C-alpha cells in the first residue's frame, strides 16, 4: 500500500470535533477541498478512521484517527526529457525551479518537448519518484524566473487557494523604455483579449480586474540618449501578459517585448542584448502547506539581463569611445 500512496495526512479528532462527520473535520482542520475528498474516497485506502475505510459522512469520536491517503500519480502524457534544471528548492511536497527564458512551462499543441514539464518529469523519474506535474502558476515562454510545482493534489489545492487569496508573494524585475511619470504607483486597469487580435491582451473597461504595483528602482540614460528604467513589480492579480500590458499602458513597455514593445523605434543594442522581453520572476513566497512555515526564494538576474543593465549604465558608449 505504501508504494501506491503518498504518506497520509493524519488528524486526531478532538473533543471539539467529536460527533461531526469526517468531511467537516478534514475541511476545518486541513482545509481539504470537496473535490479532493471526492477523488480520495474512491480508492480502497484513501479515507480511513482508525484504519477502517469510511464514507465522508461518517461520524467521528474524540480520539479517532482520520487518515487521508492520495494515490501516487504520474504525468504519463509528458515525455521525460533530460535537461539541466536550476532547482532552487525541493522536498517531498513541492519543487521550486528557476526557469530560463525561451522555455515553455507545460507542453502545448506543437510544443510537446523541450518544456519545463519534460525536464521535471525526467528529474523525478531519475530519483525514482512517482509524481504528477502540477504547476501552481506559469510564466510566459520569454519570461525567466521562479515557478512552483506541487507534488500532490493537496499541496496544489492549498497553494492555489493561497494564490487566489493574494497570500503568495510574486515580485518581478523588469527593464522598460522611459521612466514612469510616478516613480511608484499602482496600475488598476482591467485586461481582456484584443477583439481584433485574440492572442494579444489590452486594457479595456469590459476586461477582468487587474492590479499591478510598481516601483522604479533605478533609471538610466542609455546609448543614443534614450531613457530607461529598472522596475520592481508586484502582481495583485494574475492575468495573462498582465505586467507587459500594464507597463505599455503607462507608457513604459518592456525592452525586448516583441508583442507589446515599441517595435522598430526601440533601441537596437538593448533589444539585441536581452534577446527577449526583459522580465524576470525574481521573488516567490508563500506558506508551506505542510509545515505551515512562511518561505521565500529569490532568483538572481540571468546573464542576459545583467548584460542589458550594463549597457543601460553606459557600457556600450564607453566601449565605443
Candidates 153, 137, 126, 143; CA nearest to 118 is: 126
pLDDT at 320: 46
pLDDT at 226: 60
Q: How far apart are CA 75 and CA 103, in angstroms?
A: 19
According to CATH, the topology of domain 9-68 is 3.10.290
Candidates 280, 294, 308; CA nearest to 222 is: 308
Confidence of residue 211 (pLDDT cuts 50, 70, 90): very high
pLDDT at 169: 94
Q: Please count the other Cβ atoms lying within 10 Å of the Cβ belonging to residue 224.
A: 11
What digits encode the pLDDT tens for the residues 124-178? Answer: 999 999 899 999 999 999 999 999 999 999 999 999 999 999 899 999 999 999 9
Let me know if 148 is exposed, middle or buried by CB neighbors in 10 A (0-12, 13-18, 19+).
Answer: buried
pLDDT at 35: 86
Q: How far apart are CA 113 and CA 103, in angstroms?
A: 10
pLDDT at 158: 95
CATH fold match for the domains 87-164 and 169-320? yes
Which of 33-42, 142-151, 186-195, 196-205 is least confident?
Answer: 33-42
For the segment 189-197, the average pLDDT, to the nearest whole number, is 94
Q: How far apart are CA 102 and CA 114, in angstroms?
A: 10
293 is written with which cell numbers?
Answer: 512555515
Domain 87-164: give its CATH architecture: 2-Layer Sandwich (3.30)
Confidence of residue 34 (pLDDT cuts 50, 70, 90): confident
What digits encode the pLDDT tens for the residues 223-262? Answer: 455 689 999 999 998 899 999 999 999 999 999 999 999 8
- What is the pLDDT of the chain when averaged over all its residues? 91
CB of 199 closer than 8 Å to CB of 150: no
CB of 191 closer than 8 Å to CB of 249: no
**Which residue is catalytic, options 17, 64, 140, 257?**
140
pLDDT at 2: 57
pLDDT at 222: 54
What digits encode the pLDDT tens for the residues 73-91? Answer: 888 889 999 999 999 999 9
Q: How far apart are CA 118 and CA 77, in angstroms?
A: 10
Strand partners, 199: none
Q: How far is CA 309 from CA 18, 126, 207, 281, 305, in A?
A: 61, 38, 34, 16, 6
Confidence of residue 314 (pLDDT cuts 50, 70, 90): confident
Whether 91 sits among the annotated catalytic residues: the reply is no
Domain boundaries, the chain: 9-68, 87-164, 169-320
More confident residue, 319 or 135: 135
pLDDT at 316: 45
Of 3.30.2350.10, 3.50.50.60, 3.40.50.1360, 3.30.360.10, which CATH number belongs to 169-320?
A: 3.30.2350.10
pLDDT at 224: 53
Length of the chain equals: 321
What digits encode the pLDDT tens for the residues 254-312? Answer: 999 999 998 877 888 899 999 999 999 999 999 999 999 999 999 999 999 999 999 99
Strands (DSSP E) found in the chain: 9-12, 47-49, 52-53, 65-68, 87-90, 94-99, 134-135, 144-150, 169-177, 184-188, 191-193, 201-203, 211-221, 227-235, 279-287, 294-298
Amino acid at each position: 500500500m505504501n508504494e501506491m500512496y503518498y504518506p497520509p495526512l493524519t488528524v486526531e479528532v478532538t473533543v471539539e470535533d467529536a460527533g461531526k462527520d469526517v468531511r467537516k473535520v478534514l475541511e476545518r482542520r486541513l482545509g481539504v477541498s470537496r473535490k479532493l475528498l471526492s477523488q480520495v474516497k474512491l480508492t480502497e485506502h484513501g479515507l480511513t478512521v482508525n484504519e477502517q475505510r469510511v464514507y465522508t459522512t461518517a461520524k467521528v469520536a474524540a480520539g479517532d484517527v482520520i487518515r487521508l491517503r492520495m494515490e501516487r500519480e504520474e504525468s504519463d502524457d509528458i515525455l521525460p526529457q533530460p535537461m539541466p534544471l536550476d532547482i532552487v528548492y525541493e522536498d517531498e511536497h513541492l519543487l521550486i525551479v528557476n526557469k530560463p527564458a525561451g522555455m515553455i512551462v507545460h507542453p502545448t499543441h506543437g510544443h510537446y518537448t523541450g518544456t519545463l514539464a519534460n525536464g521535471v518529469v525526467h528529474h523525478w523519474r531519475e530519483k525514482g519518484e512517482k509524481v504528477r506535474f502540477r504547476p501552481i502558476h506559469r510564466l510566459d515562454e520569454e519570461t525567466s524566473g521562479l515557478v512552483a510545482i506541487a507534488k500532490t493534489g493537496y499541496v496544489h489545492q492549498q497553494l492555489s487557494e493561497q494564490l487566489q487569496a493574494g497570500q503568495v508573494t510574486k515580485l518581478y524585475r523588469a527593464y522598460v523604455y522611459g521612466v514612469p511619470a510616478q516613480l511608484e504607483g499602482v496600475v488598476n486597469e482591467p485586461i481582456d483579449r484584443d477583439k481584433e487580435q485574440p492572442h494579444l491582451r489590452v486594457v479595456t473597461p469590459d476586461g477582468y480586474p487587474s492590479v499591478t504595483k510598481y516601483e522604479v528602482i533605478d533609471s538610466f540614460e542609455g546609448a543614443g540618449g534614450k531613457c530607461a528604467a529598472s522596475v520592481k513589480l508586484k502582481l495583485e492579480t494574475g492575468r495573462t501578459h498582465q505586467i507587459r500590458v500594464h507597463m505599455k499602458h503607462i507608457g513604459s513597455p518592456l525592452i525586448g517585448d516583441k508583442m507589446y514593445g515599441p517595435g522598430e523605434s526601440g533601441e537596437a543594442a538593448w533589444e539585441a542584448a536581452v534577446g527577449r522581453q526583459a522580465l524576470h520572476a525574481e521573488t516567490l513566497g508563500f506558506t508551506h502547506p505542510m509545515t505551515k512555515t512562511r518561505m521565500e526564494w529569490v532568483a538572481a538576474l540571468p546573464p542576459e539581463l545583467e548584460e542589458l543593465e550594463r549597457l543601460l549604465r553606459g557600457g556600450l558608449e564607453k566601449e565605443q569611445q
